[in-house]
Amino acid sequence: MIRLFVPKPLAAGADIAPSSDQARYLTGVMRRAVGDEIALFNGMGGEWRAVVAEVSKRGCVLRVEELLRPQETSPDLDLVIALVKRTRLETIVEKATELGARRIRLAITRFTNADHTNVDRLRAIAIEAAEQTGRLDVPEIVAPEKLDRLLADWASDRRLMFCDEAGDARPVLNALADSEASPWAVLIGPEGGFSAEERDQLRELPYVTPVTLGPRILRADTAAISALTLWQAASGDWRQLAS
């Protein structure tokens, strides 16, 4: 069943007008017609079955019928990612959405080459990935901030997994095995890594857990996917499926 994110209140009997892009996709690309079923979610109110109620040249109307899944609270995991080149950043947003990150924060570090990115485009990628991966929410994309600023405002009850390519840090699974349950974030640096000053600063912060991701050099997108995977497997919602 096709899933669509609609930022609108959902309740049985409600009529929803999807965006023109969504209407074109539904009726033009996917050939859905009056009476066909789709699923809708708005990030807060669960997933609903809806049917195509009207199709016209100007768009379509979806009638909400019944709740399929109530809203769930996913593990509280952020990704903090230094700006890297566009295609890799887009991959990271897609993958972080599949891997259940709640929030993706963009950071400007010493060796970051860019200081801006198209945040709206990243939001659109996150929505599409959330539709496809079956999530009930869409990760928030937070506009780029300087790393210093981001750390100065850090909520100290959130642990920060610092993926340190240059150090003697512990493997992720060992570090997580010793940690208490809490909100977490994963921090991934730019292609050029962190500066010596940034590394020293990070390692002195009480909420930072430095970790290593193995003996090979990983690109930023690989490192982000690996770190999020290991957190979900050891501390997140991949664990709860154990038989």
Point out which residues bind its own copies (CB under 8 A). 91, 94-95, 98-100, 132-135, 168-174, 212-219, 222, 225-226, 229-230, 232-234, 236-243
Q: Which residue has the tokens 């957190």?
A: 231
- We find the least distance from the C-beta atom of residue 84 to its own copies, in angstroms, to be 14
- We find the least distance from the C-beta atom of residue 57 to its own copies, in angstroms, to be 32
- We find the least distance from the C-beta atom of residue 225 to its own copies, in angstroms, to be 5
> Please, which residue, 173 or 196, has the CB nearer to its own copies?
173
> Please, which residue, 119 or 217, has the CB nearer to its own copies?
217
Cα separation values, 106 from 159, 199, 232, Å: 17, 18, 21
> Please, which residue, 23 or 82, has the CB nearer to its own copies?
82
- We find the least distance from the C-beta atom of residue 241 to its own copies, in angstroms, to be 6
> What backbone phi and psi angles, to 5 degrees, belong to 226?
-65, -45
88 close to 219: Cβ distance less than 8 angstroms:
yes
- We find the least distance from the C-beta atom of residue 131 to its own copies, in angstroms, to be 10
> Please, which residue, 175 or 185, has the CB nearer to its own copies?
175
> Please, which residue, 63 or 88, has the CB nearer to its own copies?
88
What are the DSSP calls for 9-52, one per residue? ---TT-EE---HHHHIIIIIIS---TT-EEEEE-SSS-EEEEEE
Which tokens is 29 given? 């690309």
Which tokens is 144 given? 């780029």
